[in-house]
Amino acid sequence: MIDQITELVRLEVADGIGTIRLDRPKMNALSVQLQDEIAIVAQQAAEDPEVHAVVVYGGERVFAAGADIKEMQQMSYADMIARASKLQSCLTAIAQIPKPTVAAITGYALGGGCELALACDFRVVADNAKLGQPEILLGVIPGAGGTQRLPRLIGTAKAKDLIFSGRHVDAAEALEIGLADEVVPAEEVYTKAVERMTQYVGGPAIALRAAKESIDRGVEVDLTTGLEIERIAFAGLFATEDRQLGMDSFVENGPGKAKFVGR
């Protein structure tokens, strides 16, 4: 892995958990620089063999309050045509990390911040958090995956409600509609997110990767194609050392006792 210097985003690794930490005071607005650095650090987390699972975290005060509107205000149509694919790709880099991921959400996760959370596998949300896609109030629509990932997560009608109105939802409603997986006191958000990821440390890394890819690719296609994606991934795991270790351990010691090596 080749490290690239980043100023606003960093990867912190401890006990098998990689934390992608946003640090652009005051509100972690997703400037062009922050977007580019998210992509860089996501690749680092994907490639680092010491990272088994990932927490995306904006800090105790705020997750990410959206795009840098002052920066966007000055952009022309030609500017955004050149930039839009990079805006999407920085969050796609998070979605494509081949390991379990969770967004640890405090404060606001709005606009691009909500889209960043949507790119993760799970979302642990503070009880005082606010989430939403308010882009319509600026005369635009979500441009970093919101119109695609949000309806896939919570359903078309609920996604249209949030995107058409631009309204914020609180933690309780986010949990009710499936936008949040867990709501906890604000001071416990990061700890709970790490706890959620700890179960994957030392797990069968190749099988976890195959499961994530099969699910993520499968929801984009018809059932027949999805089953073929699953079949190929399932059969391929029989070439791994972890598969042999897991089955040998099951036969000899019963379920849940295998020690995997990630190969």
Q: According to the per-residue pLDDT averaged within each range, which of 1-15, 72-86, 205-219, 249-263 is highest?
A: 205-219
pLDDT value of residue 1: 46
What residues are labeled active site?
A: 67, 112, 115, 135
| Mean pLDDT along residues 221-236 | 97
105 pairs with which residues across the strands?
125
Domains and CATH numbers, the chain: 9-198 (3.90.226.10), 205-253 (1.10.12.10)
Indicate the DSSP class of residue 90.
Answer: H
The answer for residues whose C-beta is within 8 angstroms of residue 109's C-beta and 6 or more apart is 63, 64, 65, 103, 116, 117, 125, 129, 130, 131
Q: pLDDT digit string (tens) for 102-113?
A: 999 999 999 999
Question: Tell me: the pLDDT tens digits for 20-70?
Answer: 999 999 999 999 999 999 999 999 999 999 999 999 999 999 999 888 888
Q: What is the pTM of this model?
A: 0.93
- Residue 169 CA to chain centroid, in angstroms? 19
175-210 confidence digits (pLDDT tens) = 999 999 999 999 999 999 999 999 999 999 999 999
- pLDDT band at residue 3 under the 50/70/90 scheme: low
